[in-house]
């Protein structure tokens, strides 16, 4: 009996994971508004009744996909920014983490940003899902540590003053923009997929130096 229950539970988990994988793929391509349950069911290889059994509604499935997408995008970056690693090391590590994640999930930034614009309540969900703490708690953890490090670098004559919030916004924007504007960039430059990926690999080395040079006195 225990073995039968284990097999049933295992099958349930596999089916749920397959549905979530399919939903993630469809939502990232089409957004929540454009996604259709029939398309998700077809991609998962199940009938629509199973979608409702596991996730109740399209809204429930969309929330599950959003939580998963949010966890993919920023948690390692926030841990790095809040750590005690040297500031320049943080910049290099954040660039590699972001570019690797976005290279493998190029639709992720557009999806997450669109979801937060259309569903502002998900901003709190987004932060909680990727940090395990509330929106009011995560900011000080990151910005207080960064602010102290920036102040030390300024006093040592190694960096020009910059608010920690602007530091983070500038750094993440430089990482995310090529992916958010990927179709336009590829059309304007004539790059194919291989060319775009090669450009991102070069950017891992070039972007940290570009960013840091802009902050040095």
Q: Are residues 39 and 139 in the same domain?
A: no
CA distance 194 to 98: 19
Q: Please tell me whether residues 210 and 105 are part of one structural domain.
A: yes
pLDDT of residue 9: 41
Report residue 143 CA to chain centroid gap. 19
pLDDT at position 152 is 96
One domain for residues 108 and 138: yes
Full domain range(s) for residue 144: 74-215
CA-to-CA dists, residue 46 to 20, 28, 57, 62, 128, angstroms:
12, 20, 15, 17, 31
Which has the closest alpha carbon to 84: 93, 72, 75?
A: 93
Tens-binned pLDDT, residue by residue, of the chain (217 aa): 434 333 334 466 788 888 888 888 888 778 777 888 889 989 888 888 888 888 888 888 887 877 777 676 667 788 889 889 999 999 999 999 999 988 887 777 777 777 777 777 666 666 665 555 555 566 678 899 999 999 999 999 999 999 999 999 999 999 999 988 888 999 999 999 999 999 999 999 999 999 999 999 9
Are 91 and 56 within one domain? Answer: no
Residues 187 and 148 in one domain: yes
Are residues 156 and 50 located together in one domain of the fold? Answer: no
Instruction: State which of 66, 95, 118 marks the end of a domain.
Output: 66
Does 191 share its domain with 87? yes
CATH code for the domain of 120: 1.10.357.10
On whether both 103 and 47 belong to a single domain, the answer is no
Which of 66, 96, 114 is the last residue in one of the domains? 66
Same domain, 207 and 109: yes
CA distance 23 to 42: 10
Residue 111 and residue 33 share a domain: no
Q: Report the CATH number that the domain containing residue 54 is assigned in CATH.
A: 1.10.10.60
Domain boundary residue among 66, 85, 120? 66
Number of domains in the chain: 2
């Amino acid at each position: 009996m225990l073995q039968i229950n284990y097999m049933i539970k295992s099958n349930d988990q596999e089916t749920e994971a397959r549905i979530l994988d399919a939903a993630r793929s469809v939502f990232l391509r089409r957004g929540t508004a454009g996604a259709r349950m029939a398309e998700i069911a077809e991609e998962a290889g199940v009938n629509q009744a199973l979608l409702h059994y596991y996730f109740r509604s399209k809204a429930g499935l969309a929330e599950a996909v959003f939580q998963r997408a949010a966890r993919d995008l920023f948690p390692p970056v926030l841990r790095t920014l809040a750590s005690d690693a040297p500031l320049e090391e943080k910049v290099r590590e954040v660039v590699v983490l972001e570019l690797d994640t976005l290279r493998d999930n190029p639709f992720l930034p557009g999806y997450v940003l669109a979801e937060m614009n259309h569903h502002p309540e998900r901003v709190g969900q987004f932060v909680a899902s990727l940090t395990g703490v509330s929106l009011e708690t995560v900011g000080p953890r990151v910005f207080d540590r960064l602010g102290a490090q920036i102040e030390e670098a300024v006093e040592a004559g190694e960096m020009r003053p910059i608010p920690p919030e602007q530091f983070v916004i500038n750094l993440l924007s430089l990482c995310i923009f090529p992916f958010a504007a990927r179709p336009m960039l590829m059309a304007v430059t004539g790059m194919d997929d291989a060319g775009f990926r090669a450009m991102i690999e070069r950017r891992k080395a070039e972007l940290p130096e570009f960013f840091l040079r802009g902050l040095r006195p």
